[in-house]
Amino acid sequence: MSNNDPVIFINNKKCNNSYSCVRVCPVKAIEVTPGREHPVILPNRCIGCGLCFIACATGAVEYRNSTGSVKSALESDTRTVALVAPSIASEFDDITDYRKLVAMIRSLGFDYVHEVSFAVDIVASAYRQLFEESGGKYYITSNCPSIVKMVRKYYPEMVPNLAPVVSPAIAAGIMVKKIYGEEIKSVFIGPCIDAKDEILSHPGKPVDEVLTFLELRELFSLQSVQEKNVSFSDFDPPHGNWGALYPIPAGILHAAGIKRDLMESGIITASGREESIEALNDFNKHIDTIRHHFNLFICHGCLLGPGMEHHNERFRRRDLVRKYSAKRVNTLDKEEWTGAMNKWSELDLSASFTPDDRRLPEPPEEAIDEVLKIIGKENDSNDGDCRACGYESCRDFAVTVAQGLTIPEMCHKFNIRNKEDYIEKLRKTNKKLAETRKALMESEKTALRESETALEASETLSSMIEKLPSGVVIVDNHLKVVHSNSAFITLLGEDATSVAEVIPGLMGADIKSLLPFNIYNMFSYSLKQDEPVVSRDISLGDRMLNVSVFPITPKKIAGAILRDIYSPEVHGEEVITRITDVIDKNLAMVQKIGFLLGEGASETEKMLNSILESYKKVKRD
């Protein structure tokens, strides 16, 4: 993939529309609209945090893979250097010794392998100087690329408060280019997905490629690199000191020798989605009273980044990093480290940031109120915000719907209430119909006999349709079900079965409440345009349906055939033959009762013939 491609995207072939990605996105960068079958990540709004990647159980959220380009670089004659994040202690707990991991990386073809912990020490020293000379101005650390993007896009007025210091990964890239020359290819290997955007877009391109730990494991697998086949090998100098603690959120402060005492420290550390957003909001509104610098990470530090295999056991992995750091520091030549720090203290670590405002205008209050009314929250003050949709409040959700980024169906309570109300409405309607039918039966015996005759004709039609292995449904111009067979109800699932227990055959049911938008929209089109929509493949849950919709009576009646593509093939010719025989035998009877049914016989014949024509077309295709 090209470095110009979006860093994170959704693979529609894997997406099951669970919307878990939408619920965890901290910046509303994933769009859900009726016109699209699946959610879409909007690159211009995305901050690359990777929370959606972690949340997606089906693996539909993917990121730009760099293994191919790195493999090509390793196979070329160009010298290469690996810059390894100190998060290895958290990620590679399955490897017995870090020196084995270094040897495995070298065996991939890297000429040099450096740990980024020394670059952390250099950056930490720069932060200490920045904070000491801030003169009453307060800064937000710029180590986490997702935090930097969030400030640039959603708090642009706070861009001047981003610390003008490069991240440790970029500092490491600048340093190795000085050591080995500009022609060397440097590859950063770490836990962060958005490092692919942050590092590669830096002026001068001090780092040429970025691999996540997951991609490193992929390369190990591709080249059959295993711990048992390599000997110990250490990182190339200079070696780091307490910079090895960088994966822990406050680790860089420890590396800088900054006190973390509650009363004396002038720095607040926050990590994780909720804490980071709250910290940015408080910094924006109350920094003049808080009067602290903020050290922020969108993840819980770099212990459990999205580009890692594990995203749990945070405190165990924190301890792994602590022990690894202590081991490295205990064996460090302090005199050699001091000399290296003095040598590289003049390295230019300056950075600059520009606003990239992606905030959407606040929609009118009328639009927000209308959405709240739709989801049943306008006067429901006692019903708290459940946050199941992923937003902080129902109002925040309503604002997003009004902005066109999502749909009301994301609200669980809205869906449940709609289904319950609809079933209850059907029960009441059915009760009234039953009472009316009883009164008519008692008052007009003649009409009853005529109705029974008509019912026999209808039952004949129902019987024929019921024998079809595919789902069949007929609707009127109000998108109300005129008739459906059990195969159709079975395809729709449990909700439709519940409704069918109240209203046999779903008669009178509104298909907009039974089918997703992209299916019932086919009915609307067929009725309005008086044209068929033939053989569309549409996913419904874990099924793939082949749907054909066709007009029966122009702009009044439409029918549809839904086939489960994964079921055994329906023998269309046999069904056509049976229906044709029934038409021949029953058309005479239907004509005799035509004076009772008015246009009923004609419409019945049209319905049946339309079904036959549709099956013939499907068979031909």
Classify strands 267-271 and 293-297 as parallel, antiparallel or unpaired. parallel
Alpha helices by DSSP H, listed for 203-306, are 213-222, 251-256, 273-290
Rounded Cα gap, residues 457 and 465, in angstroms: 13
Read off the tokens for 304: 């459990």
What does the pLDDT read at residue 597?
Answer: 47
Distance of CA 207 to the CA centre of its chain: 29
Provide the 3-class DSSP secondary structure of residue 573. helix
What does the pLDDT read at residue 573?
Answer: 46
Dihedral in degrees, nearest 10, Cα atoms 497, 498, 501, 506: -60
Q: Letter for the amino acid at 621? A: D
What does the pLDDT read at residue 595?
Answer: 46
What does the pLDDT read at residue 390?
Answer: 61
> DSSP letters along 32-92, please?
--TT-SS-EE-TTT-----HHHHH-TTS-EEE---HHHHHHHHHSSS-EEEEE-TTHHHH-
Rounded Cα gap, residues 340 and 153, in angstroms: 37
Phi, psi of 559 (to 5 degrees): -125, 160
What does the pLDDT read at residue 466?
Answer: 78
- In terms of Cα–Cα distance, which of 325, 332, 340, 331 is closest to 175? 340
Per-residue pLDDT of 545-570, as tens digits, reads 888 998 988 889 999 988 887 776 54
Rounded Cα gap, residues 43 and 41, in angstroms: 6
Please report the beta strands in 64-195, taking only residues with DSSP state E, as ranges in sequence order.
Answer: 80-84, 112-115, 185-190
What does the pLDDT read at residue 590?
Answer: 46
Read off the tokens for 405: 């980024």
328, containing H or E segment: helix 314-330
What domains are there in the chain, each with its CATH number?
1-64 (3.30.70.20), 65-344 (no CATH), 360-443 (no CATH), 445-620 (3.30.450.20)
Neighbours of 378 (CB within 10 A): 15
Residue 300 · residue 276 · CB < 8 Å = no
Residue 615 · residue 575 · CB < 8 Å = yes
Question: Which residues are registered as beta bridge partners of 186?
Answer: 81
Compute CA distances 509 → 16, 408, 554, 608, whole Å. Answer: 26, 21, 21, 21
Ramachandran category for residue 378: left, alpha or beta (phi over 0 → left; psi -120 to 50 → alpha): alpha
Read off the tokens for 471: 């789902």
Per-residue pLDDT of 363-420, as tens digits, reads 777 777 777 777 666 654 445 566 566 666 777 777 777 776 666 766 656 666 665 5
Read off the tokens for 480: 């109300």
Place of tokens 């973390």: 260
Per-residue pLDDT of 248-288, as tens digits, reads 999 999 999 987 766 667 899 999 999 999 999 999 999 99
Read off the tokens for 567: 């079921």
What does the pLDDT read at residue 344?
Answer: 94
What does the pLDDT read at residue 68?
Answer: 94
Reported as half-sphere exposure (CB side, CA atoms, 13 A), residue 2 has a value of 2
Ranges of the chain with pLDDT below 50: 380-382, 570-571, 573-575, 577-578, 588, 590-591, 593-598, 601
Read off the tokens for 207: 């780092």
Dihedral in degrees, nearest 10, Cα atoms 572, 574, 580, 581: -160
Judge if the upstream peptide bond of residue 238 is cis by omega within 30 degrees of 0.
yes
